[in-house]
Structure 1
Amino acid sequence: MNKYTVMAAGLVLSLGLVAGCGSSDGPEAGKAPEKGASGTPKDAPKAEGPVYSGPAIPGLADKQAWSLPRADAIDLGDAFLFVKTGAGEYAAGGGYKDDPLDGTTGLLHSTDQPGPVNLEFRDVKTGAVRKTLKVTADRVAATTWRDGVPAFEVRTTSTTESDGLSAEGTTTTITVYGSDGTELGKAEHKGDTPFHVHEGHLIEQADQATLQLTPIGGGQPRKITCGGLQASCSFDPRNKDIDGGSGHAPLITGKYTFHVNNGSTYETDPEELVMSDLATGAKVWSSDDVTPPKGVELDDKGVRTSGSIRVLDVRDGRILTAWGAGAFLTDTWVTATYDLASGKQIGGSTRYAYEDFPGDTINTEGSSVFSADHQLAAAATEKGTAVWQVADGKEVWVQKEGEKLMTPLRLSPNGGVLYGTTEESDDTVLAVDARTKNVLVKDLPSDNVPLFSKQSGYGYVSTDAGFFVFPTAGR
């Protein structure tokens, strides 16, 4: 399956967790194994599945570290989570409408009828089983805990039948677990209205312009309201953004939340993105309190003529923004980085024109990508791919006229390799040197484009032949 195609699927799913037990290749049930420094039991066997026979993958070592039969996994940072069904087969997720646009696994296991499955926590570098839990599952999905910590959620949905007068009722219990299988928090959701789990919160649509955030494990719910005549405050689980008209930003970033003022209007002022403290609601940063970067058009009163603005990333006290370049330049954006404490711009700005409506290219369809160390970013422009340095906005390179247009998919952890598709085919992928633009491979099958574990930097691919994990090149 091509993991870069978003497929629509309407699913009503639930999951129930029961007592844990050991698996055949894990530690003995009920016995606490001696653990090494990585958390994996000492002397745990290395996973040995099929041998990778596909094409060489730029950015990865020539030899695999370990493998399993056909499978997908949730990346928990220092461990992979696998789901094994009662028939002994590993679950292969992907293809669901809410799956992340970065190609990672969102919903790993789902079924209309609850059934027993085993959850396997495997060491990223060796594949050795760290722990197993036996589960009766309707749903197993990736999520995040507070401050972006990788986690997974399980759901148990129960239905109270009508007695003839009362209405049928539905209650969903949501339990979030960490990479070692420890329970991080639990919550209940009444009714069958849709909700999402993100950053340790339940996210629900309160009304057209308002989202409600309920802390998992207890705490006072908070409401995030987007202002403006036509504001429509919604949450896109595919990229964890809040959409308040044409403004976009991460809904929750660590200890902060975002909302949009004057959404979808320009009657008096352009749109404003406001960043607030998650716990208190106090304003921390606002696009109205900083100077727009060079390249953004202003009117004779010094007000920017485009209301469009986005936040692409918040990290290490800095905020990466994208501003609409002008009222009649709907496909042109200017990126700039700001210091949160002072509000001052760091480095320069970079202006790009996008081929299509910007909602299809910037932080919505997944074509703005970052290296794991957040040194480099790449985006799809009307000239093809452009690469720039996140810290100061300095352009590294942009495609030239006459070259085949390339849309970036992802960068390797250290920003050494950029993978992307061309206008000719979505089935094969280019791999280029991210610093020099030199082509490394021109016809890598799309299923063989690696994902990278967030903590170890190891790369992995999931194909019909198996699940294969590699060290990065040079290790």
Structure 2
Amino acid sequence: MNKYTVTAVGLVLTLGLVAGCGSSDGDDDSTAGPKGGSSADPTAAKPTGPAYSGPAIPGLVARPAWSLPPAHAIDLGDTLLFVKDAQGKYAIGQGYAWEPADGSVGTLHFTNDPEPATLEFRDVKTGQVRKILKVKTDRVAATTWHDGVRAVAVFAEATTESDGLSEEKTTTKVTVYGSDGTELGKATAEGDKFDVHEGYIIEQDGDASLKLTPIDGGAARKVTCTGQLAQCSFDSRTNEIDGGQAHAPLITGKYAFYVENASTYEDDPEQLVMTDLATGKKAWSTADVTPPAGVELDEDGKRTSGALRVLDVRDGRVLTAWGAGAFSPDTWVTATYDIASGKQVGGSSKYSYEDSPADTIDTEGSSVFTPDHTLAAAHTEQGTAVWQPADGKEVWAQKEGEKAMQPLRFSPNGILYGTTKDDFSPSVFLAVDGRTKKVLAKSLPEENIPLFSQPSGYGYISTQKGFFVFPAQG
């Protein structure tokens, strides 16, 4: 899986979408205060956008708190970031490749060359403008700062033409802003073939290594996958390191992952190693823990499958998914481990995941989670199964004879949105109670499946009629 990554990277780079395309280069300004940007008037009225006339959305109140004309936004937690082009039109963020797997906006604004644009930081609950920045940019994209803090990256690419003897040279400036519009850091990189994640510029450094350069200064770190035929790349759709059959978050909090024995079985299957991001010292490894019950072992006690994933790291624990066996390529066993002791915490969940040729990302062995990670939903051969990551206990699962639902995302209050499809028929979008399996809505328009902003729990949708933000339902 994810061999699509190699082909897709080439395509996307050709389109200039993965390429970091620039920063404001010191041209930030504000229409809400002094030059350099300032907070907008806190007494300003909330925006008066279009009225909502769509269906009720389970998990959200009936009427939106505020709205705007058609637009998309980058979710920064307590604010939503909107971009206006030089003509004053809101960016809608559609048509860009390489978008995040969770359905959120990755690249919100893209032009071929740096052009003036306006960044609006709006309060997620009221819609009031907190800050306005005027920048010159050719791409505005969602990113994260250190420890997963949501942020926005503003790029500006510049090319120095050849003088007839020298080579043409491209440099890219990137500036990262926090949810309040404060500049967190800026850097300049050669070329345009890099990603920005967790406050680092991430570049391919040979087939088996990734170079991580801190945007706010400091020494670069290299992450290298080992193995005779090792391939190691970064998938910006999932923010994972791709080492062949093994996948994990490249950076998660104070840790970084690499793959041992990547892309070749040799005498041992692939392993995932978690290291201290600052020092490179090993903190945890799948090689040092016992695979959960249900994982097939050979006569030497080694796994017969090299398929392996780390799904999450939080609160001193690692959530993993293991390939069940060499002849069960779509069956995975999920288990949680304590980082300090290496011992498994709670039980495990075993599912045969849906193997869809249309899926080029990572549903195999993966699940979607509630924001607090108390529930997870897996896309299995029978449809959706809901389980508890803490102890591996199944809450409910679809059975043969039901319309198989593919889970899309959870609301903060446990509503699960998903899609079903009959042969030769359009997909049907629905909402169910994540704990009871009760169907709450069975035919929602696709554009009315909300995204959710944390920690407020507010949901938002972008339709052809407008951008609407709703409080969570009591």
TM range (shorter): over 0.9
Kept after mapping to 1: 8 A contact 2:354/2:364: no
Residue number in structure 1 paired with 2:421: 423
Structure 1 residues 279-318: aligned runs within 5 Å: 279-318=278-317
How far apart are the structure 2 equivalents of 1:252 and 1:94?
27
Matched, 1:376 2:375: yes
**Secondary structure at the residue paired with 2:287?**
helix
- Given that 1:101 and 1:365 are in contact with CA atoms closer than 8 Å, whether structure 2 keeps it comes out as no
Q: Structure 1 vs Structure 2: percent identity of aligned residues?
A: 65
Q: In the TM superposition, what is the alpha-carbon distance from 1:154 to its structure 2 partner?
A: 1.0
2:421 partner amino acid: E
Write the distance in 1 (CA, Å) between the matches of 2:365 and 2:23: 32
Mapped to 2, the partners of 1:73 and 1:366 lie a distance apart of 30
Match of 2:15 among 3, 11, 16: 11
What TM-score results when the alignment is normalised by the length of structure 2? 0.92
Gaps of 5+ in 2: 1-7
2:96 alignment partner in structure 1: 96
Contact 1:239/1:366 (CA < 8 Å) preserved in 2?
no
Aligned amino acid, residue 22 of structure 2:
L
Contact 2:23 2:175 survives alignment (8 Å): no
Greater alpha carbon shift after TM alignment, 157-166 vs 75-84 = 157-166
- Equivalent position amino acid for 1:242 in 2: I
- TM-score (ref. length: structure 1): 0.92
Single out whichever of 123-132 and 230-239 deviates more from structure 2: 230-239
Distance in structure 1 (CA, Å) of the matches to 2:124 and 2:211: 35
Q: CA deviation at 1:296?
A: 0.7
* Closer/same/farther in 2, CA of residues 133 and 55 from structure 1, 3 Å limit: same
Matching residue of 1:3: none
Q: 1 CA distance for matches of 2:245 and 2:224?
A: 15
Task: Write the mapping of 1:27-426 to structure 2, written as runs, cut at 5 A.
Answer: 27-29=32-34, 41-192=41-192, 194-356=193-355, 360=359, 363=362, 368-414=367-413, 416-424=414-422
Is the 8 Å Cα contact of residues 28 and 37 (structure 2) preserved in structure 1? no
Q: Cα offset for 1:453?
A: 0.4
SS at match of 1:447: helix
Rounded to whole Å, the distance in 1 between the matches of 2:106 and 2:37 is 31
Distance 1:15 1:112 in 2: 11
Residue in 1 that maps onto 2:436: 436
* Structure 1 residue 282 displacement after superposition: 0.4
Q: What is the alpha-carbon distance in structure 1 between the residues aligned to residue 343 and residue 105 of structure 2?
A: 37
Query: Aligned partners of 1:109, 1:450: CA distance in 2, in Å?
Result: 21
Pairwise CA distance, 1:72? 0.4
Would the aligned equivalents of 2:70 and 2:464 in 1 still touch at CA under 8 Å?
yes
Shift of 1:364: 5.2
SS of 1:207 mapped into structure 2: coil
Q: Alignment partner of 2:147: what SS?
A: helix
For the residues of structure 2 that align with 1:213 and 1:21, how far apart are their CA atoms?
30
Post-superposition shift, 1:266? 2.2
Measured in 1, the distance between the counterparts of 2:366 and 2:340 equals: 29
| Residue 399 to residue 362, structure 1, CA distance change in 2 (3 Å) | farther
**Alignment-mate amino acid for residue 68 of structure 2:** L
Deviations 1:107-141 (A, max 9, x none): 01011132221110100000000010111221111
1:86 to partner: Cα distance: 2.1
Cα RMSD (Å): 2.2
**CA distance in structure 2 between the aligned counterparts of 1:366 and 1:111, rounded to whole angstroms:** 36
**Alpha-carbon distance between aligned partners in 1 of 2:159 and 2:314, rounded to the nearest angstrom:** 42
Q: Contact 1:209–1:233 at 8 Å: present in 2 too? A: yes
Pick closer, same or farther for the CA change 1:145–1:214 going to 2, 3 Å: same
Shift, 1:29, TM fit: 5.0
List alignment gaps of at least 5 residues for structure 1: 1-5
Q: CA deviation at 1:452?
A: 0.1
Structure 1 residue 271: Cα displacement: 1.2
Are residues 337 and 287 of structure 1, via their aligned partners in 2, closer, same or farther at CA, if it must alter by over 3 Å?
same
**Alignment partners' CA distance in 1, 2:117 and 2:420:** 40
How many residue pairs get aligned? The number is 459
* Residue aligned with 1:15, SS: coil
- 1:352 is paired with a residue of what secondary structure? strand
Structure 1 CA distance, aligned partners of 2:135 and 2:305? 51
Deviation of residue 336 (structure 1)?
A: 0.4
CA distance in 1, matches of 2:91, 2:365: 25
Deviation at 1:21, TM superposition (A): 4.0
Distance 1:362 1:132, change over 3 A: closer
State how far apart, in whole Å, the 2-side matches of 1:421 and 1:357 are.
14
Find the residue that maps to 1:331 and give its secondary structure. strand
Contact 2:42–2:128, Cα closer than 8 Å, also in 1: no
DSSP-derived class of the 2:54 partner: coil
